[in-house]
């Protein structure tokens, strides 16, 4: 069985590294989609992508209101090729 972690983020520079590192060795793919961060979140995500290029997919998708947030979740599901999906919030350390 394979699993993808979905992570929609915005301005999560304090936690994104720790959240991703807590699951990176337990999943097959991590999809991190940024919704308009203005802090160092994107820089950290590109660094994580560089460390784990086969596992992490990082995408900048622009700002998202509640409706767009739901659309993005659906788009993530459509792009997922694994058997299982987990939602990873940036304040979660597993």
Could you write out the DSSP letters of every residue in 44-74?
Answer: HHHHHHHH-TTTEEEEE-----HHHHHHHHH
pLDDT of residue 67: 87
pTM above 0.85, yes or no: yes
> For 6-24, what is the mean pLDDT?
96
Sign of CA dihedral 59, 62, 65, 68: negative
In this predicted model, what pLDDT tens digit does every residue of 24-79 receive, in sequence order?
Answer: 999 999 999 999 999 999 999 999 999 999 999 999 999 988 889 999 999 999 99
pLDDT band at 84 (very low <50, low <70, confident <90, very high): very high
């Amino acid at each position: 069985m394979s699993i993808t972690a979905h992570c929609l983020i915005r301005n999560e520079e304090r936690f994104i590294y720790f959240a991703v590192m807590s699951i990176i060795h337990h999943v097959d793919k991590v999809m991190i989609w940024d919704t308009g961060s203005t802090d160092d979140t994107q820089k950290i995500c590109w660094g994580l992508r560089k460390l784990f290029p086969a596992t992490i997919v990082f995408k900048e998708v622009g700002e998202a209101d509640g409706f767009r947030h739901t659309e993005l979740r659906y788009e993530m599901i459509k792009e997922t090729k694994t058997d299982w999906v987990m939602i990873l919030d940036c304040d979660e350390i597993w």
